[in-house]
Amino acid sequence: MSKNILKYSFSLLHIDYVKLNHNWNFNNVISPYNRLYYIDEGIGSVSDSTGHFTLEPGYLYLIPSFTLCNLNCKDYLSQFFIQFFEESPDGTSLFNNNRNIIKLPASDFDVALIKKMLQNNPGRGINRSDNPQIYEKELYYKEYQSLNDTMPIYLKFENQGILFQLISRFLNSKDFKATNSQITSSKILDTIRYIQLHLSENLTVSKLSKRVNQNQDYFSKQFLLHTGQRPLNYINEKKIERAQYLIATTDKTFLEIAIDTGFSNLPHFSKMFKHIVSLTPGQYRHQNSHLR
């Protein structure tokens, strides 16, 4: 169990303390990184497909990556926020079963950890705009990620430790849906890694089962047992998750994105995107076209 949990690591993108007003009002935000808020003053709101949450003083909020949400402040809201990427060798996520907002009361220790992390990482705010569609660009991600590469090793460890402690609070929440705790087959783990690294290819169940020298039917059953998903469903979700990232962070055409994510043609890509995201690529881009 410990190996399964400790395979995850987290890298800091942004951390800051901000005071917001009615201009903080954005719909259909979807980010390839996780967001953590601590509210100390004012009132705001955040909503996702499962419901509406009031942003109120004294609470922590976690918005996992690729969670479609709305952000709003009618008058005044001040918050500490941390934005961070999640990484694992096999491409799995702690939040695979939790693409929804989680709210918890903050302890004094939580607040102290957040303030310590902010003190340790000056100048890591967004510093461009409060609008996610402006600051969520791949170039900006690379710029801030490069800061992590030059960070002293002790600070990397301290950032990891603080993020582990803060995230553990949400993992202990009644609203957190635990992933399958059984030990995953090495062949399934190898397949998951392979999928992550080859999303631009035409991946088939037949090809994947042959890679690990297993009968296709047996392989499919093992994959379902260990991941909770059939191989083809998993492949398509990972491809569309990658497509969501590209739409959110680049100006690539839909055809370019379809090719980058291994779809043979644009209609198939669009159909799969609509099936998984409940929006067509065009609808998603249209919602954000005035900000490009």
Q: Please give the pLDDT value at position 3.
A: 47
Where is pLDDT greater, at 143 or 12?
12
Residue 20 pLDDT level (bands cut at 50, 70, 90): very high
Q: Which residues pair with 10 in a beta bridge?
A: 86
Q: State the chain's maximal CA–CA distance in angstroms.
A: 60
Write out the H or E segment, with its range, that includes residue 13.
strand 9-20
Smallest CA-to-CA distance from 99 within 179, 183, 16, 218 is with 179
Q: Which CATH architecture has domain 2-171?
A: Sandwich (2.60)
Using the predicted structure, report yes or no on whether residue 248 has a pLDDT greater than 80. no
159-173 tens-digit pLDDT:
999 999 999 999 888
Using the predicted structure, report yes or no on whether residue 292 has a pLDDT greater than 70. no
**What is the pTM (predicted TM-score) of this model?**
0.65
* 135 φ/ψ angles, rounded to the nearest 5 degrees: -90, -10
C-alpha–C-alpha distance, residues 231 and 222, integer Å: 10
Q: Please give the pLDDT value at position 110.
A: 97
Q: Please give the pLDDT value at position 2.
A: 42
108-129 tens-digit pLDDT:
999 999 999 999 999 888 765 4
Q: Where in the chain are all domains bearing CATH 1.10.10.60?
A: 186-291
Using the predicted structure, report yes or no on whether residue 107 has a pLDDT greater than 70. yes
Q: What is the mean pLDDT of residues 74-94?
A: 84
Q: Where in the chain are all domains bearing CATH 2.60.120.10?
A: 2-171
* 213 φ/ψ angles, rounded to the nearest 5 degrees: 55, 50
Q: Which residues pair with 19 in a beta bridge?
A: 78
C-alpha–C-alpha distance, residues 239 and 225, integer Å: 21
Classify residue 174 as exposed, middle or buried by CB count within 10 Å of its CB (0-12, 13-18, 19+).
exposed
Residue 268 pLDDT level (bands cut at 50, 70, 90): very high
Beta-carbon contacts of 126 under 8 Å, excluding residues fewer than 6 positions away, are 14, 16, 135
For 21-141, strand residue ranges (E) read 25-29, 34-42, 44-48, 51-55, 59-63, 69-72, 77-87, 102-105
Q: Please give the pLDDT value at position 287.
A: 62
Using the predicted structure, report yes or no on whether residue 136 has a pLDDT greater than 50. no
Q: Which homologous superfamily does the CATH classification assign to the domain defined by 186-291?
A: Homeodomain-like (1.10.10.60)
Q: Please give the pLDDT value at position 270.
A: 94
Q: Please give the pLDDT value at position 142.
A: 67
Q: What is the mean pLDDT of residues 98-112?
A: 92
C-alpha–C-alpha distance, residues 6 and 164, integer Å: 10
- What are 1's two structure tokens? 């169990």
Q: What is the mean pLDDT of residues 267-279?
A: 91
Q: What one-character DSSP code corresponds to residue 210? A: H
Average pLDDT, the chain: 83
Q: Please give the pLDDT value at position 158.
A: 94
Q: Please give the pLDDT value at position 181.
A: 45
53-80 tens-digit pLDDT:
999 999 999 998 878 788 999 999 999 9
